[in-house]
Structure 1
Amino acid sequence: MNLTRRKMIFLVGGGAVVAAGGVFGYAATRRPQTAFLPWERAGGYDDPRMRALSWALLAPNPHNRQPWLADLSEEGVITLHADHDRMLPHTDPFSRQITIGLGCFLELLRMAAAEDGYRTSTALFPQGSSALGLDQRPVARIAFAADPAVERDPLFAHVPLRRSNKEPFDLNRPVVTALLPELGAVVRNGARFGGTVDATEVTDWRALTHEALRIEVETPRTYQESVDLFRIGHIEVDANPDGIDFTGPLFESLRLTGQFTREAASDTTNFAYKSGLDAIFANTDTAMGHVWLVTDDNSRETQIATGADWLRVNLAATAQGLGFQPLSQALQEFPEMAGIYAQVHDRLAPSGGTVQMLSRIGYGPTVGKSPRWPLESRIMNV
């Protein structure tokens, strides 16, 4: 049975209250018990490599896939691999976005090591790489050396508060132009930063990113890739603390009443599907500015460097109290997105190059942490 919007609001606003004290009311308010523990445990390890890794795993990454595996078999060294069970073959067919996520990871690893008094030396793709995708060869070899004089990065202070804000932004609170140079100033790995808060340009970008999102959702295989990663309710999130999490009284109530399941979300005639579209379009349609990174080439090394710069821009936005959410759909490289992809590149890279990242910015509500797998599950030889 489908819920009308009015009934859903009644369920969320009143149903759990009516059932308060009962099993339903208790279950509807449950929160994940273990999925957020890695945020609390960051830095709490004896081995300096583990301390740095415990921070690095908090880095942003596509669909929260957490595609990193660390080999610690060599003393004083981390060898980073990509977890091939965590790729996104339909929306990210060449693993470009996954590689950028690994670049975010490596930059946060470097920051955390420096904060701890260790200098890192990183060799990217020491056995080579493929433009077609990530393979079994290592992504990076990172050597640690104690150095009390290593420079600390002031952006590291904002790591515990960094979020990808997937809520609508405040349409009555503009972002001032003067903030854009402050975000761009932290880029240092070769990407070209750009951004706009001009009302006319933002309106155009809202429409373009809305259309890109529509295409991803209305292309069955790319939409199903996301649905397969839905984690609905606290039990699923604790069991698989990755993917796209849906927790809190609303989603617990819909789960308990059978109104929100992966099967229902896959049914394009279902209320869960239609109301979900309203929610995600509310994000693109309330952007109060947009920022992006463009690179001259699209090598694996450049993608890693882009991830480092993207993390830095995200942390700089956090420092300014800005909401920040990547809108990656327009940059995806599956055939149905080709028209939008070309439009973005015509606008932002008319002389050539690759638009690597695009995000909306604005002021939104405070949002919670993203679930994370325990560090120990990301170590290859434990």
Structure 2
Amino acid sequence: MSLPRRSLLRAASGALALVPLGGVTVLRAADPDPLAPWAEAPRAAAHPDPRIRALSWAVLAPNPHNRQPWIAELPAAAPDTVVLRCDLDRRLPVTDPFDRQITIGLGAFAELCRLAAAEEGRAVAVSPFPEGEPGPRLDGRPVAILRFGAPGSAAPDPLFRQAAARRSAKRPYDTARPVAAESLAALGRVVAAPVRFGGTTDPDRVATIRDIAWRSWQIEATTEAAHLESVNLMRFGRTGVAANPDGISVWGPGIEEGVAAGQITRESMLPGGAGYRFMIERYAPMLAATPAYVWLTTGRGRADQLAAGRDWLRVNLAATAAGLSVHPLSQALQEFPEVAGPYAEMHGALAPDGATVQMLARLGYAAPVPPTPRWPVETRIRAV
């Protein structure tokens, strides 16, 4: 990891401190724990800088392909300010050619930062794209300015209590346990304008969405450039995940042995390989075991995308509080040419008024899943 900076937050002996660096390389432990940031977030409460305390939580936000595309600048001349930028090397140029999904992930980061600060009584004012909305892709300009208020300027939000437990559960859901209408309504209540919430448990509508989602997944899996974008972001085994705790983690019980034996490799995930066949065999029954879907729609502007990320984080936290599992589905919302047909179908089904469907997800009940690996907060901060 090599973010340029003059000084950098580093964890040392269980404590957090700002440590000046002479170069650009982040030194890490020989075998770091890729799940450590989930445990380190609450420990950051001892840090004297409220921005760092909040950012330690923000890095746990959901984001596309787990790219963790955020850079949080801490201006020395403005100790109450965080400048949020996109790490332009962490985008998804094939499947997210206009950086829409990446912007949504940055919105989730900003909202989790705001919630973490509010938990200790500090308001955070979020100013989207203060130097203008970039297009057609993001650039080096700030995505948002986050200004921290004084102690006592905000009240805690109950949603923050779920921050450490939030997960993306990519597994079959219990089809014998329906999602209640009131549970859907409760998720909708945490969404605010300009974002609109949608959801369904109607079997016919669920089947329609599932069919479009499955065909979209197949298109991505058989479009070489789109599939390679995912394969190139796969991290195999604990060693691979620890070295790069972003992207798609392929690790855990039963997988480590296959990685060590050379049976689970990047090549095996290409068409014709055993891993590729396994993905197909796993994905269809997982989609079939889906009792409900939820989605968010907005207009088309960058600020709308950032707001969608804000509320996607909030919907996730509300679902966690209700004991529900969430699994985002991106394929039918992507904007590369080969998926244009299903994209139009999904928008016709969910946004016939011409709005943009920003997020779509499976919703239901499932067994608990572990957290997703994260880069430590210090690798996402730079002082300026």
CA contact (8 A) 2:120 2:151 kept: no
More helix by share: 1
Correspondence for 2:360: 358
The partner residue of 1:122 within 123, 126, 138 is 126
Task: Measure how far apart 1:189 and its partner are.
Answer: 3.7
On the 8 A contact 2:72/2:85 being kept in 1, the answer is yes
2:240 is the counterpart of 1:236: yes
- Can you list the C-alpha shifts for 1:274-319, whole angstroms capped at 9, x where unaligned? 0121122232221110001111x21110100111111111111111
The equivalent residue for 2:205 is: 201
1:249 match: 253
Q: Deviations over 1:243-292 (max 9, x none)?
A: 111111211011011111011112x1111110121122232221110001
CA distance in 1, matches of 2:172, 2:207: 15
Provide the C-alpha distance between the structure 2 equivalents of 1:70 and 1:175, rounded to a whole number of angstroms: 38
Return the alpha-carbon distance in structure 2 between the equivalents of residues 372 and 191 of structure 1.
28
Aligned position for 2:170: 166
What residue number does 1:53 align with?
A: 55
Shift of 1:56: 0.5
Moved over 2 A (4+): 280-283
Q: How far does residue 206 in structure 1 lie from its aligned partner after superposition? A: 1.4
Cα distance in structure 2, aligned partners of 1:363 and 1:228 = 31
Kindly indicate whether residue 289 of structure 2 is the aligned counterpart of residue 286 of structure 1: yes
Report deviation, 1:125.
1.0
Q: How does 1:135-146 map to 2 (within 5 A)?
A: 135-146=139-150
Pairs aligned (count): 349
- Whole-Å separation in 1 of the counterparts to 2:278 and 2:220: 16
Q: Does the residue aligned with 1:42 lie in a helix, a strand or coil?
A: helix
Deviation at 1:209, TM superposition (A): 0.8
C-alpha distance in 1 between matches for 2:285 and 2:89: 31
Percent of counterpart pairs with the same letter? Answer: 49
Q: Distance in 2 between matches of 1:242 and 1:368?
A: 15
Q: Deviations over 1:308-364 (max 9, x none)?
A: 111111111111111101111100000011000101111122121111111000111
Report what 1:274 is aligned to.
277
Correspondence list, 1:1-382, <5 A: 33-43=32-42, 44=44, 45-73=47-75, 74-266=78-270, 268-295=271-298, 297-381=299-383
- Using the size of structure 2 for normalisation, the TM-score is 0.88
Distance 2:182 2:145 in 1: 39
CA distance in 2, matches of 1:225, 1:137: 25
1:102–1:307 contact (8 Å) kept in structure 2? yes
Unaligned segments of structure 1, at least 5 residues: 1-31
- Cα RMSD of the aligned pairs, angstroms, is 1.3
User: 3-state DSSP class of the match of 2:181?
Assistant: coil
Amino acid at match of 1:322: L
- Secondary structure of the structure 2 residue equivalent to 1:69: strand
Task: Tell me if the contact between 2:35 and 2:372 (Cα under 8 Å) persists in the aligned partners.
Answer: yes
* 8 Å CA contact 1:104, 1:308 repeated in 2: yes
1:22 paired residue number: none
C-alpha deviation, 1:129, in angstroms: 2.2
Distance 1:321 1:126 in 2: 37
Please give the alpha-carbon distance, in whole angstroms, between the structure 2 residues aligned to 1:318 and 1:123.
28
Stretches of structure 2 that go unaligned for 5 or more consecutive residues are: 1-30
Secondary structure (helix, strand or coil) at the match of 2:383 reads: coil
Return the offset for 1:381: 2.8
Please tell me whether the aligned partners of residues 267 and 273 of structure 2 are also in contact (alpha carbons under 8 angstroms).
no
